[in-house]
Amino acid sequence: MTDLMREACEALGDVLNPHGPAVNAVKSYAPSDYSIHFFLQLAIIILVCRVVGWAGQRLFGQPQVVGEMIAGVILGPSLAGLFFPDLQLAVFPKETRNVLYVGAQLGVGLYMFMVGLTLRLDHFQTKAKSAAAVSAAGIAAPFLLAALITPFLLRVPGLFTPGITQANATLFMGACIALTAFPMLARIINERGLADSSLGTLTLTAGAFDDAASWCVLAVVLATFGAGAGVAVIAIAGAVLYTTFMILWGRRLLAPLGRAVEARGEMSTQVLAITLLLFCLSAFLMDAVGIHAIFGGFLIGVCMPRGLFVEELKRKVEPMAVVLLLPMFFTYSGLNTRMDMVNSVPLLLIALGILAVSVLAKFGACYAAARLSGEDNRTALGIGALMNSRGLMELIIINIGLQKGIIGPTLFSMLVLMAIITTVMATPLFEAVYGKKARESGELGQIDQRMAAA
């Protein structure tokens, strides 16, 4: 069996070896080599994500998206790279990851564009007070608890980079704990049948504010850590200006697209092209100012016309985004994840402590804020369970921290562990405190029927 695997790896290596003059960026890879790797990677990603997602749904009641997140880790060095290192490296060499990264950003950006299209603005208006309270609590509590635990973490060698200030370390930890897995949250809400509900809208809105705040804090940390004050100024000012513009004038400027679809009875290729062009520009603006492309996609989705326009766009774009492009996002993050770094009892205890603090800061604070805002106990528990999910948005921000020299590999692995556990626990916890009783009472079904009738 071992000889067979070795021969298979050698054969695969021959196929994936460089085949011509190199491009300037990577000396050992020609343009055709990127294409060879990309299509094989995409085939493997689709296969593994569908299989693991199906198994997660069938055996553990987890949404497809959680299975896809775990599939990304399986394809990375944590599992495939541990048992089949040569094969894993041949299929996913480091030189090709930039191509995979671009596809990942397109996938997650398009999906968040679709999520923005389904956001119920009338629910947002009725739940604005609750959303603001939940968002504020979901930001304040993590930074408060981060200020309490960071001095201890700084005394443990290898967690933070030597020389980092306590202020920067606290801000970074606060941003990591405050994050909500916005793309993951959106998919869980859609798969649980909550996309049109006030609870889903409230949670998505609060999660969007929390993530935007975390990215702004990260920009401040990067600025004070050596990237320059301009990074923080451009990120925060650019995001505020663009968001304000879209809220005030976006829907009015985009309304002709909706009228064109209604007049024709379907979406023409011309309208589709204009829509995708605007999506790309919006994603570019948010990426360029230093926030993230997904917020650009989500924001312009919120401002797009409703009615037939949304139905046509979802029919034309959503299947490709969800099945083909979005899994690349999970795989790219999984390729940068190592789960074998927490390798001693003291480090494991620290990792469990970070997990406990993270759950208390997010689940506990958001639950309390929702209750104080007038939500009933069951709804508040459901909000807390969903807001506690962090997913691969967490992996994005901690990868930046690792690459920029803010944290070390050990703390990185602890935060990966926290991200996975809080995401996996989100769905069963939500079903236990809210979803199961809501389905038994027909509450979710009644909401769906009202939206369909409307």
Write out pLDDT tens, residues 330-388. Answer: 888 778 777 777 777 888 899 999 999 999 999 999 999 888 887 888 888 988 988 88
- In this predicted structure, the answer to whether residue 128 has a pLDDT above a threshold of 80 is no
pLDDT tens digit sequence for 207-222? 877 877 777 777 777 7
pLDDT tens digit sequence for 54-88? 888 888 777 777 788 788 888 888 788 888 888 88
Output the pLDDT for position 22. Answer: 45
C-alpha neighbours within 13 Å on the C-beta side of residue 139: 17
Q: What is the CA radius of gyration of the chain?
A: 22
C-alpha neighbours within 13 Å on the C-beta side of residue 227: 19
Burial 236-248 (b: 16+ CB within 10 A, else e): bebbeebbeebee
Q: Share the mean pLDDT of the chain.
A: 81
Residue 11's pLDDT band (boundaries 50, 70, 90)?
very low
Length of the chain: 454
pLDDT tens digit sequence for 268-292? 999 999 999 999 999 998 888 877 7
Q: Which residue has the tokens 């609060």?
A: 206
Output the pLDDT for position 16. Answer: 55
Burial of 58 (0-12, 13-18, 19+ CB in 10 A): exposed
From 17-21, 68-72, 211-215, 240-244, the region with the lowest mean pLDDT = 17-21
Paired residues of 73 in beta bridges? none
Cα–Cα distance for residue pair 331/392, rounded to 1 Å: 10
- In this predicted structure, the answer to whether residue 447 has a pLDDT above a threshold of 70 is no
Output the pLDDT for position 185. Answer: 77
Cα–Cα distance for residue pair 21/1, rounded to 1 Å: 36
Domains with residue ranges and CATH for the chain: 2-98 (no CATH), 99-453 (1.20.1530.20)
Residues 214-237 have a mean pLDDT of 72
Q: Which of 439, 436, 433 is nearest to 371 (CA)?
A: 433
Residue, of 433 and 3, whose pLDDT is higher: 433
Residues 14-27 have a mean pLDDT of 51
Q: Which of 37, 34, 15 is nearest to 23 (CA)?
A: 34
Output the pLDDT for position 46. Answer: 93
Structure tokens, 433? 């405190």
Residue 448's pLDDT band (boundaries 50, 70, 90)?
very low
Burial of 226 (0-12, 13-18, 19+ CB in 10 A): exposed
